[in-house]
């Protein structure tokens, strides 16, 4: 990479601990100690050093610190599609919480899953202290983290066969509440809108709903598939309704549910929830908008992100801590898009 020419014309280099030391008339290591936690420095010299540092606008160089400490105080956050409406909230919470603990976020967003390898390369090069991944990870890729000794926490992803730490929002209880409520209110003709087949959470939600429906004696429920987007939910709902009239639609996430509501109400001209109930999963902000008032299961994003961060930090502090999975349950958000008993 092209190196910038050293201090062209007026370009003064940024002050180092050495400059501060000279100005304060002490050794460089005194300055270093002054900026660390348990540094033993006499109040008098500390004062002098701080004054000198202030005068020079000195701040310890985190890059140099990282090189010698082997702690970059950076954590990689990998998110697949930021446009998914639920993730921005997750990302904001993660960033805030990490920041509160003095950790910086190195952000990686993926368009295609294939980019993950390039990302892992960068993660490795940047000596991040750990990684939180909200994207599909193959078993091999998870292994790389393990071999590299980079603590890893998956967010709403699961690694069935490998022992990897993760936090998830469990789908069973939530879907059961939705299904039970709708059945009790008289719904019988159900339809499902699944997410992309490679989404573990999406599949888990659909599976949970299907199982609960089966327990209630409802089998062979039609399932269509979307990609978690509004349009895909809209289209899937239309296909389902065309194939057979339904009185309840369960979508794998809120945005598709919203799309389904619009399709049912606007294109099919059927009242929601009077003729058709629609439910989702996530609890994104638009689900509460007055035009939708979606009945859904809200993920406890605050507790989940806090869990992810603290699990990661624990494993950064002590690399010997083994993997752990934490499962959270969602809260039923009683909107007005489904008849629930």
Partner DNA sequence: CTGTTAGCGCGTTCAG
Partner DNA sequence: CTGAACGCGCTAACAG
Site for its own copies in 300-319 (CB under 8 A): 317, 319
- C-beta of 73 vs 310, nearer to its own copies: 73
Q: Is 3 in the site for DNA (CB under 7 A)?
A: yes
- C-beta of 28 vs 141, nearer to DNA: 28
Q: How far is CA 195 from CA 281, 303, 313, in A?
A: 11, 24, 32
| Contact between residue 24 and residue 51 where contact means Cβ atoms under 8 Å apart | yes
| Contact between residue 191 and residue 222 where contact means Cβ atoms under 8 Å apart | yes
- Spell 15-32 as b/e; 16+ CB within 10 A means b: bbbebbbbbbebeeebbb
Min dist CB 309 to DNA, Å, is 23
* Distance from the first to the final alpha carbon of the chain: 64
- C-beta of 42 vs 320, nearer to its own copies: 320
Q: Is the CA virtual torsion 337, 170, 113, 74 positive or negative?
A: positive
Q: Is 53 in the site for DNA (CB under 7 A)?
A: no
Helix runs in the chain, H state only = 17-24, 28-34, 43-56, 62-69, 87-100, 116-125, 139-148, 172-184, 200-215, 230-243, 254-262, 301-317
| Structure letter (DSSP) for residue 97 | H
Q: Which does 95 bind (CB under 5 to 8 A by kind): its own copies, DNA, none?
A: its own copies
Q: Contact with its own copies (CB under 8 A): which of 19, 175, 262, 282?
A: 262
Q: How far is CA 223 from CA 68, 190, 226, 256, in A?
A: 55, 9, 10, 13
- C-beta of 40 vs 111, nearer to its own copies: 111
Q: Contact with its own copies (CB under 8 A): which of 16, 28, 45, 109?
A: 109
Q: Which does 18 bind (CB under 5 to 8 A by kind): DNA, its own copies, none?
A: DNA
Q: Is 259 in the site for its own copies (CB under 8 A)?
A: yes
Give the span between the Cα atoms of 115 and 117, in whole angstroms: 5
Min dist CB 273 to its own copies, Å, is 15
119 to 158: interface string for DNA, x by CB under 7 A: ----------------------------------------
Q: Give, as ranges, the residues between 193 and 252 that touch DNA (CB under 7 A).
A: none
| Structure letter (DSSP) for residue 295 | B
Q: Contact with DNA (CB under 7 A): which of 67, 107, 285, 319?
A: 67
| Structure letter (DSSP) for residue 115 | G
Binding residues for DNA, rule: CB under 7 A, are: 1-3, 13-14, 16-18, 25-30, 32-33, 35-36, 40-42, 44-46, 58-61, 64-65, 67-70
């Amino acid at each position: 990479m092209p190196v910038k020419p050293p201090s062209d014309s007026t370009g003064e280099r940024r002050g180092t601990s050495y400059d501060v030391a000279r100005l304060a008339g002490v050794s460089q290591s005194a300055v270093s100690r002054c900026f660390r936690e348990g540094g033993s420095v006499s109040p008098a010299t500390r004062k002098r050093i701080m004054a000198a540092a202030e005068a020079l606008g000195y701040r310890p160089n985190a890059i140099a610190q990282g090189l010698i400490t082997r702690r970059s105080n950076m954590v990689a956050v990998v998110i697949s599609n930021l446009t998914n409406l639920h993730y921005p909230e997750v990302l904001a919470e993660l960033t805030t919480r990490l920041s509160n603990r003095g950790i910086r976020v190195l952000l990686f967003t993926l368009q295609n899953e294939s980019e993950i390898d390039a990302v892992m390369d960068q993660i490795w090069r940047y000596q991040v202290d750990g990684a939180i991944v909200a994207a599909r990870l193959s078993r091999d890729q998870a292994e790389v983290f393990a071999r590299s000794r980079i603590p890893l926490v998956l967010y709403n992803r699961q690694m069935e066969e490998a022992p990897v730490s993760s936090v998830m929002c469990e789908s069973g209880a939530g879907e059961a509440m939705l299904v039970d409520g709708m059945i009790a209110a008289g719904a019988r003709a159900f339809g499902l809108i699944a997410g992309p087949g490679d989404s573990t959470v999406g599949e888990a939600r659909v599976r949970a709903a299907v199982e609960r429906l089966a327990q209630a004696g409802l089998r062979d429920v039609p399932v269509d598939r979307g990609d978690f987007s509004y349009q895909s939910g809209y289209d899937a709902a239309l296909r389902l309704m065309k194939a057979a009239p339904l009185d309840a639609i369960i979508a794998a996430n809120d945005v598709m549910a919203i799309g389904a509501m619009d399709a049912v109400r606007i294109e099919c001209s059927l009242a929601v929830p009077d003729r058709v109930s629609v439910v989702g999963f996530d609890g994104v902000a638009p689900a509460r908008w007055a035009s939708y008032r979606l009945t859904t299961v809200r993920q406890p994003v605050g507790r989940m992100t806090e869990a992810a961060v603290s699990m990661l930090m624990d494993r950064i502090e002590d690399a010997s801590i083994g993997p752990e999975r934490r499962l959270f349950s969602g809260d039923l958000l009683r909107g007005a898009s489904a008849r629930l008993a």
